[in-house]
Structure 1
Amino acid sequence: MILAVLAFQFVVALQWILGFVAIAFLVPTFMLMTQCVTGSFPRRKDVDGDHRDNSGVGRPSVDVLIPAHNEESVITATILSIQSQLRAGDRMLVIADNCTDDTAAVARALGADVTERFNDTQRAKGFAVDHGLKVLESDSRDVVLMVDADCDVSNGSVDRLARLAIETGSPVQANYQMPAASRAGSWGAVSGFATTVKNQVRPLGLHRLGYGCVLYGSGMAFPSKLARRPNWASDNIVEDMKVSYDLMIEGHSPRYCPEAIVRAGLPEARDNALEQRKRWEHGHLHTIATQSPRLIGWAMKTARPSLLVAAIDLLIPPLALLVQCWVIVTLAILVITWTTSISWIPLAIMTVAGFNLAIGVMTAWYAHGRDQLSIRQLCTIPFYILSKLPLYVSAIFRRQRTWRRTDREPSHEATV
């Protein structure tokens, strides 16, 4: 009798646990599907573009901040793409951070202001940004625009970002496009599509739903005083995400500006691409663990739905990891359900989560990815997902904690 009671209690507890796990998949996959569907069907204003006539409206003055570490091979194109958009009174400042090449000399020759920083212990982009902001502090403009040294800023983007930052009093994130190089093969094409979903489709969906997005490290515009509020001086390998959530909690949720386009090509060599992915995704997973409880706590404390939306958005892991976890958990629940007397409800919830994931990804591919990912390449996604398993295992046992520069090809093929 006692054994029967214990067995019954075990089954009930197991069913509750599996139900909780299934719901933990249902919520972020539903959010992903909602973002992808909302961000995939163009509205008329998105198709027609932004036709506002600003010719008679004074554009805010701009400080352009470009942190750079050994970027002599790519920084020329970046500076030239921005210079043509600057007006009298604007300034461009390149932070040559721990450079051992001619980055500073190249930038000066092109007419940019340059500050050089050398520090053997504080080696990360956040420290470079903090240094640049201190230099700007004595003579600041209305808006600070931060652009990575390997980016191409499309014409008109500086104006759009500056105006929106002042109009809203909030940070603004540009449409940050990172297409794969044409010679990167199927692996690179799938990686480029995953980046498109993360950087373009999902923030556009949140934008259309009336919510803010996270910052992506480049193409970020801030009202000058707001730019100095976060603590940039850290070795966080995804400092842009941490800054985003700090600002959200303070009530300054970043706005997405789809009309302002900033482009940077993904590394062509697979080893370099994997190194870049490792930094992004290890940092993302660490941020999920540290920031999602914080956002949920503040959402409950302040009764602000926007923070809860931000927390759920953050809980969406990298797509490859999400698919891996869904497959493993679904198979485990299937076996447990088949071999015990627990309810089929957890398995049904996991099935719905799987449909959410499939609908979201396929809708994003149909609307945004067909030109960069062919049907044949689409079929290689399972192999791409398997190839990333060591990356996620290393996040448990050897998580990348420090910033390391990703080697870049000198060509700007993917950014034009």
Structure 2
Amino acid sequence: MLDQILSQVTFVDAFNIGVFLAFTICYVYQFFYIFTVLTRKPPKQEAKKNHRYAVMISARNEIAVIGDLIHSIRMQNYPQELIDIFVIADNCTDDTASVARSAGATDVFERFNKDYIGKGYALDFGYKRIQQRYADRGYEAYFVFDADNVLDVNYFREMNKVYDGGAVASTSYRNSKNYGSNWISAGYAVWFLREAKYLSQARLTLNTSCAISGTGFFIAAEVLEKHGGWKWHLLTEDIEFSAQTIIDGKRISYCPTAMLYDEQPITFKDSWNQRFRWAKGFYQVFAHYSWKLLKGIFTNKKGARFACYDMLMTIAPAMLLTIITIGFNGTIVALALLGYMSAGSMIVSSLSSMFFCLFNYCLFMFILGALTTFTEWNNIHSTTGKKIKYLFTFPFFMLTYIPIALVALFKKAKWKPISHTISVDVEEMSKASQK
């Protein structure tokens, strides 16, 4: 009997250790990313000339915020004659289109399509309208923003340096305009700040490829021309584009000095719906592109192989390892309590493994959140008290991804609009970022 119990405990321990080692081996390189950011400065670029850009903004019932974004673009420290703003009023039931026109949009394209719903379809619609009406203006790249964004006054000047340096696409520094609303918005903000600082900046410094993330990026005109428009229509069209670009051996850049402010959800319902769609979208991208990325690790040109691995780890359903570990150990405990397996040390081993898994996840997230908060302290527009307070809620925000990832495995996802209502003073935001 003792030998049987020891054998069972060894099997449980071996499983848990195996999962832990697999996760560590796959993602240990991201610790080197942190070391790189803390010890090396990102490369600086200067532009030899100013380039001509088109801005595409997909907006659905964004009457409260669309004016702020257009105003922040119109006050850029960059020649206004080189920026044209196009708003795609996508299935709107309010006056977003007229507000955008009054705010200074070059043109507004109204789209009504209940069959093909999603940002990717709206961007493709807008791109084709621009080609039909403004092809003679010779846009060299296309910027994409969400309607709730606002930009630092030097955003285009800084991004122009990256495009002038030869980048086919680039993301930017994603800040938050409502960090202090509550623990949910702060959780988002810290995650995106961490993504900008400790993923994108490290990739830039090490000369590998970044990934575009939702908003605040440009794509060279030649890329969209090659693909015949915006042809990425999965639920996370940004990650899909990134995966395809990296598979093609191209490098997505990053500009740490171009700051964008994004509005984050403040209700758990909106947050659940948004992150559920993201989780489902990541599963879709993994299903469509994981094999090509795996092949690219061995077949792409030498400088692009690690980017394939990095993107594969980005889209891999790593959260499922946590779910599997908890589920496995929970099953062992249940079987032991029901008498199907020997109890005692078996229960202790499984319960300790479940605790170890959750505790280490929370601890790791706390360390990441604290590191991000303190290094980006001056860029976070909130009180000292809230910055400290939300250090401790960040791990719990990240824990909520576990049920989201689980539900996303089985439930279908649809685009659901999220209300944006926070209007900000663009001048004050820009002044604050310069302090």
Q: TM-score, normalised by structure 2?
A: 0.76
Residue 423 of structure 2 corresponds to residue 411 of structure 1: yes
Question: How many angstroms does 1:58 deviate by?
Answer: 2.6
Q: Distance between the aligned counterparts of 2:377 and 2:277, measured in 1?
A: 24
Which residue of 85, 88, 92 maps to 2:81? 88
Conserved 8 A contact 2:200-2:254: yes
Q: Which runs of 5+ in 1 are unaligned?
A: none
The equivalent of 2:65 in structure 1 is 74
Question: Matches of residues 291-302 of structure 1 in structure 2 within 5 Å?
Answer: 291-302=289-300
Question: How many angstroms does 1:386 deviate by?
Answer: 4.8
* Larger mean Cα displacement after TM superposition, 208-217 or 295-304: 295-304
Q: Distance between the aligned counterparts of 2:366 and 2:287, measured in 1?
A: 25
Per-residue CA deviation, residues 189-239 of structure 1 (Å, 9 max, x unaligned), is 234322322344321222222222110122211221113344634542210
* Larger mean Cα displacement after TM superposition, 254-263 or 156-165: 156-165
3-state SS in 2 of match to 1:226: helix
Question: How many angstroms does 1:173 deviate by?
Answer: 0.8
The equivalent of 1:102 in structure 2 is 95
Which residue of 377, 396, 410 maps to 2:409? 396
Per-residue CA deviation, residues 164-202 of structure 1 (Å, 9 max, x unaligned), is 2242242011112235442x3334323432232234432
The equivalent of 2:224 in structure 1 is 227
Q: Distance between the aligned counterparts of 1:29 and 1:316, measured in 2?
A: 13
Note closer, same or farther for the CA distance 1:377–1:97 as it changes in structure 2 (3 Å cut): closer
Runs of 4+ deviating beyond 4 Å: 10-20, 42-46, 321-327, 329-336, 353-362, 369-373, 385-389
Question: How many angstroms does 1:298 deviate by?
Answer: 1.8
3-state SS in 2 of match to 1:27: helix
Question: Matches of residues 10-409 of structure 1 in structure 2 within 5 Å?
Answer: 20-39=18-37, 41=38, 43=40, 52=46, 57-85=48-76, 86-112=79-105, 113-137=107-131, 138-139=135-136, 140-182=138-180, 184-230=181-227, 232-233=230-231, 235-302=233-300, 304-315=305-316, 317=318, 321=319, 325=323, 328=326, 360-368=368-376, 374-381=387-394, 383-400=396-413, 402-409=414-421
Conserved 8 A contact 2:224-2:230: no
Note closer, same or farther for the CA distance 1:81–1:314 as it changes in structure 2 (3 Å cut): same
Figure out how many residues of one structure are paired with residues of the other and give that number. 394
Conserved 8 A contact 1:30-1:357: no
Percent sequence identity is: 23
3-state SS in 1 of match to 2:376: helix
Question: How many angstroms does 1:267 deviate by?
Answer: 2.1
Q: Which runs of 5+ in 2 are unaligned?
A: 334-342, 430-435
Question: How many angstroms does 1:412 deviate by?
Answer: 3.3
Conserved 8 A contact 1:215-1:244: yes
Per-residue CA deviation, residues 282-333 of structure 1 (Å, 9 max, x unaligned), is 323443454333311222222523212332343375xxx4895597389789
Note closer, same or farther for the CA distance 1:233–1:102 as it changes in structure 2 (3 Å cut): farther
Note closer, same or farther for the CA distance 1:35–1:369 as it changes in structure 2 (3 Å cut): farther
3-state SS in 2 of match to 1:99: coil
Conserved 8 A contact 2:201-2:256: yes
Which residue identity is paired with 2:80? Answer: R
Q: Greater relative contact order (Cα 8 A, min sep 6): structure 1 or 2? A: 1
3-state SS in 2 of match to 1:241: helix
**Cα RMSD over matched residues?**
4.0
Question: How many angstroms does 1:368 deviate by?
Answer: 3.0
Q: Distance between the aligned counterparts of 2:196 and 2:406, measured in 1?
A: 24
Q: Distance between the aligned counterparts of 2:292 and 2:18, measured in 1?
A: 20
Q: TM-score, normalised by structure 1?
A: 0.79
Q: Distance between the aligned counterparts of 1:411 and 1:357, measured in 2?
A: 30
Which residue identity is paired with 2:417? Answer: R
3-state SS in 2 of match to 1:150: coil
Which residue identity is paired with 2:163? Answer: A
Which residue identity is paired with 1:67? Answer: S
